[in-house]
Amino acid sequence: MNNDFRILYTQFTDTAQRAADLNFASAVLGWDQEVYMPAKGADARGRQLATLTTEAHKILTSEDYGRLLAALVTAAATSEATEDMLANIRLSTLDYEKNKKLPAAFIEELSLLTSQGFNAWVDARGKNDFSVFAPHLEKMVALKRRQAALYGYTTHPYDALLNEYERGANIAMLEPVFELIRKELPLILKKIKGSEQVSDACFKTNFPKENQWDFSIKVLQQMGFDFEAGRQDYSEHPFTTSFSSSDVRITTRVDEHNFASLLWSSIHEGGHGLYEQGLPESQYGLPLGEAASLGIHESQSRLWENCIGRSKEFWHYFYPILQQHFPDSLGNLPEHEFYKACNRIAPSLIRTEADEVTYHFHVLIRYELEKALIEGSLEVKDLRNAWNAAYTKYLGIAPPDDKTGVLQDVHWSHGMFGYFPTYTLGSFYAVQFFEKAKAEIEAFDEHTKSGTFAPLLDWLRTNIHRHGRKYTSEELCTRVTGGGLDPQLFLNYVNRKYGAIYPGQ
């Protein structure tokens, strides 16, 4: 490796990591805003976040940084640059070209509106009134339409926003996936309705908050979440954020009369957290220190939540421990009945607590609504009615209020349009990775039965986590499983699993 290239690459990493320092400092303030910040701190916090994100954006869109990247591309052609170096240069150049399309003033406006919108969303949820949040959402939708125009697109403005979370994704790629959901999942639900329904009443008795918390910590530790490099807290909406691979924060929420709320949230966010802790620390602030995509990120959380956390083998180990935490609620309930309760299939209102099958209707509804908002065929003032109508159409239930309806997700307050489809993509990738891991890890089920998750975590670290953003989702899936995304594998998994739980189907 020649000295000129080495000097340029060092300058590049220094610059990228300075911007990362600012972005991660912003993430710390964002985490605090959702977890601990007093209500009166909202205005000042919005300003602080806007300043940090704007300054980071200026660094990564400066002419000096652009010239540095161009010089690196030239120098790399005659150097002995490693594959990882070349990937960082290539991806950073793509990021630079994309980021240059957004003026610093736009970034500042977006950051301020995101902070204001989140606080308005929390206020609206507290008052159970969408009209409190609607004016902020109208501004955000207008801003995201502008962002799509600034990025540019060929077919649909929503495509430009999708690429924020899933590189290479577009409506043309998503429609076959969601058409499969529209056509195939209702057939599965129809078969299940022909069977005796499973009861989940055991989740809805009395579960003291402290005991729920203690059990969730036990599960996260057993999964391999490193509490010396992370922590769990409570928030209005569960989320995961990271300030480096050695400082990863996850949150959950608790309902003392519905244990499912904390249980699935903690395992889900724990899967996200394990991915963040598994990213290479040596690539801090660089593309290879970041997740491949939101679809792959969701594959990690959904794999742990559903393929592992809702499995017979998982509860063979954990159910006796759970009974010790809640002897009054679960002491006399057989393990097999609890397992079935974990896997009850029934239409419900809350996405984060939905079962593996109906979950995808929740995602489909959000995909259709936010796509309509961005293209302008739906306006915010009509969103509540459109939301309720979609739930009636796809799930046969209508939300009784705004908190369990249009206000249940935090994403739109953050301007995260294009994020929701990654939940379904991630679920499908999760099954594909899970099946491959089972095939390659000796005595996989026995490990799970004994609460030994190190072999699975090591497999995920080796095959997925360590690569960062080097590959697109499809490239990574092909590398790991031998082929691109195959939704049929998800359908096979669902039919096999729930055919046993609902034998009359």
Active site residues: 269
Q: How far apart (Å, rounded) are the C-alpha atoms in residues 205 and 259?
A: 8
Q: How far apart (Å, rounded) are the C-alpha atoms in residues 279 and 223?
A: 17
Q: How far apart (Å, rounded) are the C-alpha atoms in residues 348 and 404?
A: 10
Q: How far apart (Å, rounded) are the C-alpha atoms in residues 118 and 120?
A: 5
Residue from 299, 300, 315, 186 nearest 263 by CA:
315
Contact 112, 54 (CB under 8 A): no
Residue from 260, 301, 345 nearest 434 by CA:
301
**Residues present in the chain in total:** 505
Separation of CA 236 from chain center: 16
**Token digits for 331?**
């002491």
Q: How far apart (Å, rounded) are the C-alpha atoms in residues 29 and 204?
A: 35
Q: By CB neighbour count within 10 A (0-12 exposed, 13-18 middle, 19+ buried), where does 136 fall? A: buried
Residues 6+ apart with CB under 8 A from 175: none
**Number of helices and strands in the chain (H, E):** 21, 3
Residue in this structure with the two tokens 């008052």, named with its chain if needed: 127
User: Quick one: the chain helix, strand, coil %, rounded to 5?
Assistant: 70, 5, 25
Q: How far apart (Å, rounded) are the C-alpha atoms in residues 369 and 361?
A: 12
| Identity of the residue numbered 498 | Y
Q: How far apart (Å, rounded) are the C-alpha atoms in residues 184 and 268?
A: 25
Q: How far apart (Å, rounded) are the C-alpha atoms in residues 350 and 403?
A: 10
Separation of CA 407 from chain center: 18
Contact 268, 305 (CB under 8 A): yes
Query: End-to-end alpha-carbon separation of the chain, Å?
Result: 63
| Identity of the residue numbered 188 | I
> Which DSSP string corresponds to 53-79?
HHHHHHHHH-HHHHHHHHHHHHHHTTS
Residues 6+ apart with CB under 8 A from 422: 165, 166, 293, 294, 295, 297, 298
| Identity of the residue numbered 114 | T
